Amino acid sequence: MSLQRYLDVVDDADAFLCAAERPLPRVIWANPLRQDPAKTAEEVRRLCPEAEPLAWRPDAWRLPPEVKPGRWVPWMYGRVHGQEEASLLAASLVDAQPGERILDLCAAPGGKTAQLAAAGAKVTAVDVSPARMRRLEENLGRLGLRAETIVADALQWRPEQEFDAVLLDAPCSST
């Protein structure tokens, strides 16, 4: 993405460009359906002593940018999942409860869908891209989570039922 278009609206272009090019810390969260989050916290501390629990979500940790959690056993077995912190916050604000019906529009690659499903919500995930929806389904499978997935343009698609909440993070807060 070109940052040039933002330079006219920021006060300090050099500081903005420096911040935009700095790698964001990785954030992972514990999947309570695969393992008790306290046990996952022990694994995370053992694998990455520098991991910092998020103040607003103690079952999630900020990792240094050079750490690659996708190579960890807890990742491979679906005990943790990674997202950028902004995306983690977006789904957390829904405050999904067990049994609630949640619609996640522009859902792929599925981090927010996974969070909502891990909270016990019945999630319908809609995305226009078949390839990205396959990635969402792969992520859910690794995590042992379920959601109804629909490949459709959210502007054209019409739901057959009502939902307790709708999450539309467009463009995705992590981009």
pTM (predicted TM-score): 0.85
Q: Which superfamily does CATH assign the domain made up of 21-83 to? A: Sun protein; domain 3 (3.30.70.1170)
**3-class SS string, 101-145:** EEEEECCCCCHHHHHHHHCCCEEEEEECCHHHHHHHHHHHHHHCC
Segment 108-142, tens digit of pLDDT:
999 999 999 999 999 999 999 999 999 999 999 99
Segment 67-96, tens digit of pLDDT:
999 999 999 999 999 998 988 999 999 999
Write down the domain spans for the chain: 21-83, 93-168
| CA-based end-to-end distance of the chain | 9
pLDDT at 157: 96
Q: Which CATH architecture has domain 93-168?
A: 3-Layer(aba) Sandwich (3.40)
